[in-house]
Structure 1
Amino acid sequence: MNTSEFLFITKDKAIDSASFTWQTPSNIALVKYWGKSDPQIPKNASISFTLNNCHTTTKINFSKINKVEKADFELYFEGKKKDDFKPKIAKFFERIQEYCPYILEYKMEIHSENSFPHSSGIASSASGMSAIAMCLLSLEKELSPEITTEHFNKKASFLARLGSGSASRSIEGPLVVWGEHPEIKGSSDLFGVKFPYKVHPIFEDYQDAILLVDKGEKQVSSTVGHNLMHDHPYAENRFKQANENLSKLSKILQSGDMKQFINLVESEALTLHAMMLTSNPYFILMKPNTLEIINQIWKYREENDSNICFTLDAGANVHVLYPASEKEAINQFIKNTLAAYCQKNQYICDKSGYGAKIL
């Protein structure tokens, strides 16, 4: 596993102060990863749709200081100092200082905000960590202007992964693979890569409505959940299944076979939760309304010969996936039927997007 290409070699310029702002999206995995080894290496490859409207905007102000032992930073979330977020960011900076030694020469002031409600149950670590990584790479490019766009994105994904595994999939879009897979050219456990094949037109501009079933803090963190895969009785079969499913999905995305897409994506979501149900200690992240929504989706699909389907993250919320051609009818169905199962009738309409943007 060669990480040497991500080491920072030379400084061509001296920069006393700088400021960068990036907007980076969340993403939703179609083939899930659940289980990893240190440092943030996935046990199987995964693929996700990059989202468009659910994003984090992060600005980092860098001011030159005498070199310190540990990253010196302040963190503001939605205008307020957020000291309870600091340990996670501090650990991230510790992991990356080997690759970004320049962070020890700057005082960093980080200002971050989400386009979606905090604690809405939407994974904000993917968008949050990738936004910080993009700001760091912007400083690196100022220090070494010869960095190519390809290296910029690859290293940003590599760094983001060290903060949150799924953050590696939030740099580019609309479909990103993270994890080494024999059928995905250039794929790696160290960073995400854009899906390398031409996608059938039906998967362009794909819609994702996120139904906020439970906006509370998850009772089991993703880190704890991933660790429970170490001694899981079905872990090895699951990793094998996920890699086989990615092979199948690769063909489906190119052929446009909607029936197979629906079957595979829903099966992946339910398998993820089956892993939680069968780990020790076991846990359930779905809520009664999660199941109500799934049953309503199945009923609607059958009655309307629709291509609607669902996927789930490690939580209670439901991502409703559907092609843009069905947008009007399905948005009406969500409003009239599914919204009633959401906390305070809240849901977010989103779609596939193209990754990080500098502001």
Structure 2
Amino acid sequence: MTKQNKTLEYFQPYVAVVPSNIAFLKYWGKSDEALQWPANDSLSMTLSDLHTKTKAQVSEIPEHQVRLNDQEVFREDKVGQKIFKHLDYLAEQLQTREKLIIESSNSFPTGCGIASSASGLGALTLAAVAAWTASPSLEVLASKGFSMDRLIQWARIGSGSACRSLYGGVVHWHRGSCEKEQTVNQAFDESHWPLMDSVVLFSDAEKSVGSTEAHRSAWTSPLFAPRLASLNSRRDAMLQAIEDKNMKFLGPLIEQETLEMHGVIMSATPSVHYFGAETGKFLAWLRERRTALDLDVYFTLDAGPNVHLIYENHLHERVMQLLQETVDSSRILSDHMGAGPVLTVEEV
């Protein structure tokens, strides 16, 4: 866009709110890191209140200005490298040299296993593209040729799991037979089966080893090849359980999947331990108490120490009462299955 045809609308702040997601069938290991081609399919539940809010505004400045959680980040920073690299990628796709002022914040702790890169890179993608194209909504983006499928593929380059946060409900990331054939679709919308995700925080510190580094080691684990061989049948079983709204069937599958993924992570070279004794003790306690109470609440973890408890909405009060036995309420973040991202323009 040339200077003479820029309008006030072009310089307005565009705001994207993108929720995190929690994977039931995990994305772990890559067939091609540069192309963000996963080693297997994955299934996830899109959340709602646990989200990233990113504001992007075109400005006639020599370099992007980025603030993350009220802290300025730079191109050479550890966090900044990923952000600026993705902005460079998006600018290349749009063939623009315009710079952006970016303000981004998470409603949850960053980098501790609550998929902040999924919501963060998803929100960065939507807000940046909206600002560069002066598009105040997802519908306007689509009318300009930026379909959700196209935006998903761009977000995926920034962070693989970001592609799953751009749909609501239950989302299926299909690996495909090659990088170009991978697709993402909404398997079930958010109204199909109202589920909750209550996150028990054992640490809000950023991980010492990031997911990107740990992904690279997956192939060195002796457990990885057997895992890949069994995942398609587990995927199909999960999809059937979700279709049937059968938590007694789905719950054990997501727990098996979580423990298997962490087994791969711990048995890889180098070995990484994302959770310790406190998390392990909590999981044992949960299994004992849910049996005693006949309560259908099941756990899953991403690459971090914090535990996601998955259960049906109508059980929320009972689950909160159960957690009061052992967890301070300040360490619990409760959320529900959500409808996906929102894009707006901030009037100035």
Query: Which category describes the TM-score, using the shorter chain as reference length?
Result: 0.7 to 0.9
- For structure 2, the 5+ residue unaligned runs are none
1:100 aligned to 2:85? no
| TM-score, scaled to structure 1 | 0.83
What letter is aligned with 2:44?
S
Distance in 2 separating the partners of 1:218 and 1:254:
35
Match of 1:73 among 49, 53, 64: 64
Distance in 1 separating the partners of 2:42 and 2:113:
21
* Paired-residue identity, %: 29
Runs ≥4 in structure 1, deviation > 6 angstroms? none
1:204 aligned to 2:188? no
CA contact (8 A) 1:25 1:50 kept: yes
1:113 aligned to 2:102? no
Distance in 2 separating the partners of 1:58 and 1:128:
8
1:173 aligned to 2:162? no
**Partner of residue 338, structure 2:** 353
Q: How many residues align?
A: 329
Match of 2:37 among 21, 36, 41: 41
Distance in 2 separating the partners of 1:156 and 1:206:
27
CA contact (8 A) 2:223 2:263 kept: no
Distance in 1 separating the partners of 2:183 and 2:132:
18
**Counterparts in 2 of 1:124-139, with a 5 A limit?**
124-139=116-131
| TM-score, scaled to structure 2 | 0.86
Q: CA deviation at 1:216?
A: 1.7
**Counterparts in 2 of 1:1-359, with a 5 A limit?**
17-36=11-30, 37=32, 38-63=34-59, 72-83=63-74, 84=77, 85-102=79-96, 104=97, 106-118=98-110, 120-139=112-131, 141-142=133-134, 147-148=142-143, 151-180=146-175, 190-195=182-187, 204-337=193-326, 339=327, 345-359=330-344
Distance in 1 separating the partners of 2:86 and 2:194:
33
What letter is aligned with 2:49?
N
- For structure 1, the 5+ residue unaligned runs are 1-12
What letter is aligned with 2:29?
G
CA contact (8 A) 1:205 1:353 kept: no
Q: CA deviation at 1:294?
A: 0.8
Q: CA deviation at 1:232?
A: 3.2
Give CA-to-partner distance per residue, 1:43-72, whole Å, 9 cap, x none: 10101010111111100011357xx8xxx3
Give CA-to-partner distance per residue, 1:165-224, whole Å, 9 cap, x none: 111111111111112369xxxx986553111x589x7x6220111011122221221111
Give CA-to-partner distance per residue, 1:120-175, whole Å, 9 cap, x none: 54231111110011113324654796834995322221111111111111111111
Q: 1:190 to 1:98 in 2, by over 3 A?
A: farther
CA RMSD, aligned part only? 2.7
Q: 1:260 to 1:181 in 2, by over 3 A?
A: farther
What letter is aligned with 2:224?
A
Distance in 1 separating the partners of 2:247 and 2:338:
20
Q: Which stretch of the first structure deviates more once superposed, 134-143 or 254-263? A: 134-143
SS of residue matched to 1:109? strand
What letter is aligned with 1:27?
N
Q: CA deviation at 1:244?
A: 2.2
Q: CA deviation at 1:247?
A: 1.2
SS of residue matched to 1:322? strand
